[in-house]
C-alpha cells in the first residue's frame, strides 16, 4: 500500500453520472492541492453485451450498441468536465472499455494516482450480495488508498 506524504498528487474519480459519483467528484475537488491532478474515468462495460450476443440464437451486429455505449461514455465525461469547470478544475479524462473494478485499478496505476475517491450507494445485506459492489472490489484490491462517500450524506 502506498502512503502519501502531504497533499495527494493525483486523485482518480470513477464517474458514471450517478449521485454517488457526483458526490465523489465534489469531494475530490476539496481534496485537490494547488498542484494536484484530477483524473476522471468512465468505464464502458461491454461484457454483458458480449455475453448476450454469444448466447443469442439470432445473429446480429452489435456495432450500433457498442457505439451507443461509447456515446454514453462521452456524455458522462462531458458532464464530469462541466462539473469540473464550475469548480475551476481541469481534469484528465479517460474512457476505459473493461469491467469496472479492473478498469478503475488499471487507470489508477496508469495515471500514478495516490488516491481513489468513489461514491457508494451503501447497499447492505442481500442487495449488496446479489448486485455486487464495484466500490468494495476496488477497496479490496487497490494498492492506493480509497476514500468512499455516500451520496445522501454529501448532497443531502
Q: Please indicate, yes or no, if residue 5 is contained in any of the structural domains.
A: no
Rounded CA-CA distance 22/120 in Å is 10
Q: What is the pLDDT of residues 16-25, one digit of tens each?
A: 999 999 999 9
Instruction: Write down the mean pLDDT value for the chain.
Output: 84
Q: Please indicate, yes or no, if residue 1 is contained in any of the structural domains.
A: no
State the residue range of the domain holding 125.
10-155
Could you tell me the pLDDT band of residue 121, with boundaries at 50, 70 and 90? confident
List the CATH number of the domain containing 48.
3.40.50.620
Asked if the model's pLDDT at residue 51 lies above 70, the reply is: no
Q: Please indicate, yes or no, if residue 81 is contained in any of the structural domains.
A: yes
pLDDT value of residue 49: 60
What are the grid coordinates assigned to 69, written together? 455505449
Q: CA of 84: how far to CAs of 76, 79, 90, 93, 104, in Å?
A: 12, 9, 6, 11, 19
Asked if the model's pLDDT at residue 141 lies above 80, the reply is: yes
How many structural domains comprise the chain?
A: 1
Q: What is the pLDDT of residues 93-107, one digit of tens each?
A: 999 999 999 999 999
Report the pLDDT averaged over residues 45-67. 65
Rounded CA-CA distance 60/69 in Å is 17
Q: Which residues make beta-bridge pairs with 125? A: none
Q: Is pLDDT larger for residue 152 or for residue 94?
A: 94
Amino acid at each position: 500500500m502506498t502512503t502519501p506524504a502531504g497533499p495527494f498528487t493525483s486523485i482518480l474519480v470513477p464517474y458514471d453520472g450517478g449521485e454517488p459519483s457526483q458526490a465523489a467528484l465534489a469531494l475530490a475537488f476539496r481534496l485537490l492541492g494547488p498542484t494536484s491532478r484530477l483524473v476522471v474515468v468512465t468505464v464502458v462495460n461491454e461484457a454483458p453485451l458480449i455475453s448476450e450476443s454469444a448466447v443469442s440464437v439470432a445473429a446480429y451486429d452489435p456495432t450500433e450498441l457498442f457505439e451507443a455505449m461509447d456515446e454514453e461514455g462521452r456524455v458522462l465525461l462531458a458532464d464530469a468536465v462541466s462539473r469540473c469547470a464550475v469548480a475551476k478544475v481541469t481534469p484528465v479524462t479517460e474512457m476505459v472499455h473493461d469491467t469496472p473494478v479492473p478498469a478503475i485499478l488499471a487507470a489508477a496505476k496508469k495515471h500514478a494516482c495516490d488516491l481513489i475517491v468513489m461514491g457508494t450507494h451503501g447497499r447492505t445485506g442481500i442487495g449488496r450480495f446479489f448486485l455486487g459492489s464495484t466500490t468494495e472490489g476496488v477497496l479490496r484490491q487497490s494498492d492506493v488508498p480509497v476514500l468512499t462517500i455516500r451520496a445522501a450524506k454529501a448532497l443531502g
